Amino acid sequence: METPRTIRRIGILTGGGDCPGLNAVIRAVAKTALNRGLEAWGIEDGFLGLIEDRVHLLTRDAVSNILTRGGTILGTSNKADPARFAVGTGPDGKPIFEDATPKVLRTLADRGLDVLVCIGGDGTMTGAAKLLAHGVRIVGVPKTIDNDLMHTDITFGFQTAVNTATEALDKIHTTASSHHRVMIVEIMGRNAGWLTLESGLASGSDVILIPEIPYDLGVVCDCCVERGRHGKAFTIIAVSEGAKPIGGKQVVTRVVPDSPDPIRLGGIAEVLCDQIAERTGLESRATVLGHVQRGGTPVPADRVLATRFGYQAMELIAAGEFNELVVMQQSRLTSVSLHEVAGRQRLVPLDHPLLAVARGVGTCFGEPAS
């Protein structure tokens, strides 16, 4: 598709947590742009690069040989919402925020960037959506290992993270069965259980605990004990960092005050481990997979998805369809307004077919019998 003459320079930024496939998107956007006679400019460290005027030209060389590389060659930041940017700390220890939008607009004008491709999750899209009101032309690309962006069936990075978490759960199996233990593995995902559900299913985990289904500790303990009675003297529990007991709260590991989404979840595996050991007398251990899930080379499916997303972003730009997020719906690439995804999270619906499948093969979700 021919790009309108008004579009010459494409700015590319990666925002939020890093994720396998970011470089594959950067490469797809930049190569498609260069092949269409346009310029691609890399913005360093997400919106921070626009606030601090840190951008550079992306040559063919710069985006060559990065398809398989994890992380992002541009750097990223999950603390830089231009409309609410932390500039220091007040006497009370709390961050002082200012609206850095004018700085962003100045960089865009000075550098002559005609359109931005923002690759990120809901935090990045929320920041991007606020810039639209100032006339900035933006196309979004959905990234996150959590798979929790609204209106897209899948985000790139998710499938690699499922792979990583599944491999870890498979390896945990060895110790679980050799030592007859309860092994609890904590998996990322914030408030969404997609990563735990898929890796739990793929590894045949005996118990899967996700934020969308609050659990009953007694039911989880009974499941561990029952398995022993049926000759299975070990249990593998895949637990989301955001899981919580019925009537209880999520476990928070830290608060990052200058981040647009300050709460960091984590620690539930240790809590469960102590509780299960105390209640059942079974030897239990907790493993937190942590940022291992965000690292490494993207699996082929993510490389293809990321490349398709990047190319589609350029197609939207060529069609003059700005202020949209590229999405995958029922295996079809399409787009939705950035406003529709900003500030929202896509959780596992309670009628999702995978839940029925898991229950069908005997997986325990810690639900009390109805």
Residues that bind ligand F6P (CB under 6 A): 17, 78, 121, 144-146, 188-190, 241, 264-265, 294
Beta carbons within 10 angstroms of residue 64's beta carbon: 11
Of 142, 151, 212, 172, the residue nearest 367 (C-alpha): 212
User: Which one, 45 or 146, has the nearer CB to ligand F6P?
Assistant: 146
Q: Least separation, in Å, of the C-beta of 239 and ligand F6P?
A: 13
User: Which one, 94 or 291, has the nearer CB to ligand F6P?
Assistant: 291
Strands, E, within 69-227: which ranges? 80-81, 84-89, 95-98, 115-120, 138-142, 182-187, 207-209
Strands, E, within 292-353: which ranges? 324-329, 332-337
Quote the CA–CA distance of 198 and 193 in Å, as a whole number.
Answer: 9
User: Which one, 81 or 241, has the nearer CB to ligand F6P?
Assistant: 241
Q: For residue 62, give the H/E element and its range.
A: none
Q: Least separation, in Å, of the C-beta of 17 and ligand F6P?
A: 4
146 is known as an active-site residue: yes
Three-class SS of residue 111?
A: helix
Cα dihedral 201, 295, 69, 193 sign = positive
What separation, in Å, do the N-terminal and C-terminal C-alpha atoms of the chain show?
Answer: 56
Contact between 152 and 131 (Cβ < 8 Å): no
User: Which one, 94 or 254, has the nearer CB to ligand F6P?
Assistant: 254
Quote the CA–CA distance of 208 and 306 in Å, as a whole number.
Answer: 29
Three-class SS of residue 54?
A: coil
Quote the CA–CA distance of 51 and 151 in Å, as a whole number.
Answer: 29
32 contact partners, CB below 8 Å, separation of at least 6: 310, 311, 314
Q: Least separation, in Å, of the C-beta of 80 and ligand F6P?
A: 13
Q: Least separation, in Å, of the C-beta of 155 and ligand F6P?
A: 10
Q: Using only the alpha carbons of the chain, give its radius of gyration.
A: 22
Q: Least separation, in Å, of the C-beta of 38 and ligand F6P?
A: 31
Residue with tokens 């005997």: 362
Query: Helix (H) and strand (E) counts for the chain?
Result: 11, 16
User: Which one, 126 or 235, has the nearer CB to ligand F6P?
Assistant: 126
Contact between 73 and 66 (Cβ < 8 Å): yes
* φ/ψ (deg, to 5) at 314: -70, -30
Q: Which of 114, 146, 148, 258 is catalytic?
A: 146
Q: Give the CB-nearest residue to ligand F6P.
A: 188
Q: Least separation, in Å, of the C-beta of 266 and ligand F6P?
A: 7
User: Which one, 49 or 123, has the nearer CB to ligand F6P?
Assistant: 123
Contact between 276 and 182 (Cβ < 8 Å): yes
User: Which one, 137 or 294, has the nearer CB to ligand F6P?
Assistant: 294
Q: Least separation, in Å, of the C-beta of 298 and ligand F6P?
A: 15
Residues annotated catalytic, as ranges: 146
